[in-house]
């Protein structure tokens, strides 16, 4: 315990990597334990601290342009999933693919292909430039309408019958709101609830966790989509919630004597980073 502020600090045991991220990192570490370098198409996880840790082991992030140039190498496809084009380019250049696509996302890709083959009009609740969405619409030649807010689609001008999917990391409550608004407009809606329950289930658990503390430190990478969603959940539950990407961003003047502090994070937040933040707080 700290001799000065005497902070009581607890880490949320339900926070940290989801299965898809754990799987991708295990694939990377297993390969790098026997090989010098491994190329990863995009960031393996939206967390700067974890990316740096793996970079030191030999993981090299590349973009789509670099993929076109890379030959006779080994490339990791991360949990988000990839469009068919990525596989085609990698194999044409005689690369070996280590496929760490999340099984849940691969299942959704099959569902959206089936809907497309059935000539259904496909809408997806998600972020247009998110890698998961790029991988998803790539399965159906980009024949889908992607939207992040209900205001982006004019309900009165929608087709009479649509099929609705979702990015796995979007807000479950907002997804239900969108479903209800579309149905209320008299549109025949086929709902494909593709939000990951391991992710969605964290919302209620985080609400309960955040209520127990004077201050909450929410840890996530700045580019984490899931991090932004879960941070809002925490902030709406406990107004004294601070978003940080590392222990360097924490300020001592946030805290007062004997504060109870909760530390939690996104599905892309490593548990080791939350422990490092806890250790810093205990020195105050």
Q: What is the mean pLDDT of the chain?
A: 94
Count Cβ atoms within 10 A of the Cβ of residue 119 and give its class: 0-12 exposed, 13-18 middle, 19 or more buried: exposed
How many Å apart are CA 194 and CA 182, to the nearest integer?
A: 17
Please determine, for residue 152, whether its predicted confidence score (pLDDT) is greater than 80: yes
Q: Can you tell me whether residue 264 is helix, strand or coil? A: strand
**What is the domain class of 8-16+198-281 according to CATH?**
alpha beta
How many Å apart are CA 122 and CA 140, to the nearest integer?
A: 10
- Look at the domain 104-195 and name its fold: Cobalt-precorrin-4 Transmethylase; domain 1 (3.40.1010)
Q: Can you tell me whether residue 82 is helix, strand or coil? A: coil
Phi/psi for 174 (5° steps) reads -70, -35
Average pLDDT for 61-88:
97
Please determine, for residue 276, whether its predicted confidence score (pLDDT) is greater than 80: yes
**Residue in this structure with the two tokens 């754990």, named with its chain if needed:** 22
Please determine, for residue 198, whether its predicted confidence score (pLDDT) is greater than 90: no
Q: Name every residue whose Cβ is closer than 8 Å to that of residue 85 and which is 6 or more positions away in sequence.
A: 138
- Give the dihedral sign, CA 231/232/237/241: positive
How many CA within 13 A on the CB side of residue 168? 25
Number of Cβ within 10 Å of residue 189's Cβ equals: 17
The set of catalytic residues is 132
Please determine, for residue 2, whether its predicted confidence score (pLDDT) is greater than 50: no
Looking at residue 3, its pLDDT comes to 56
Residue 263 token pair: 């530390």
Looking at residue 156, its pLDDT comes to 85
Angstrom distances, CA of residue 108 to CA of 133, 135, 153, 194: 11, 11, 23, 7
Average pLDDT for 148-162:
91
Q: Please state the domain extents for the chain.
A: 8-16+198-281, 19-101, 104-195
Count Cβ atoms within 10 A of the Cβ of residue 32 and give its class: 0-12 exposed, 13-18 middle, 19 or more buried: middle
104-195 shares the fold of 8-16+198-281: yes
Average pLDDT for 252-272:
95
The tens digit of pLDDT for each residue in 108-122 reads 999 999 999 999 999
- Give the dihedral sign, CA 84/89/92/98: negative
User: Residues of the chain with pLDDT > 70: what percent?
Assistant: 99
Q: What is the CATH number of domain 19-101?
A: 3.40.50.11270
């Amino acid at each position: 315990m700290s001799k000065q502020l005497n902070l009581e600090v607890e880490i949320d045991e339900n926070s940290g990597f989801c299965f898809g991220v754990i799987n991708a990192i295990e694939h990377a570490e297993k390969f790098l334990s026997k090989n010098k370098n491994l190329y990863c198409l995009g960031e393996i996880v939206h967390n700067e601290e974890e990316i740096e840790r793996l970079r030191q082991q030999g993981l090299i992030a590349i973009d789509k342009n670099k993929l076109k140039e890379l030959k006779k190498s080994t490339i990791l496809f991360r949990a988000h999933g990839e469009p068919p084009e990525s596989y085609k380019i990698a194999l044409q250049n005689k690369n070996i693919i280590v496929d760490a696509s999340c099984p849940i996302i691969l299942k959704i890709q099959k569902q959206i292909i089936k809907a497309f083959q059935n000539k259904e009009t496909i809408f997806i609740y998600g972020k247009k430039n998110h890698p998961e969405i790029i991988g998803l619409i790539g399965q159906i030649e980009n024949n889908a309408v992607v939207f992040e807010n209900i205001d982006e689609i004019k309900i009165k001008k929608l087709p009479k019958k649509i099929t609705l999917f979702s990015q796995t990391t979007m807000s479950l409550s907002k997804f239900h709101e969108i479903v209800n608004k579309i149905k209320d407009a008299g549109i025949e809606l086929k709902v494909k609830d593709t939000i990951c329950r391991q992710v969605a289930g964290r919302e209620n658990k985080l609400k309960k966790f955040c209520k127990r503390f004077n201050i909450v430190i929410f840890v996530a990478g700045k580019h984490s989509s899931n991090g932004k969603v879960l941070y809002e959940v925490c902030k709406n539950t406990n107004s004294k919630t601070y978003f940080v990407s590392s222990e360097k961003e924490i300020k001592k003047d946030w805290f007062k004597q004997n504060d109870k502090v909760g530390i939690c994070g996104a599905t892309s937040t490593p548990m080791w980073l939350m422990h490092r933040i806890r250790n810093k707080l205990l020195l105050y």
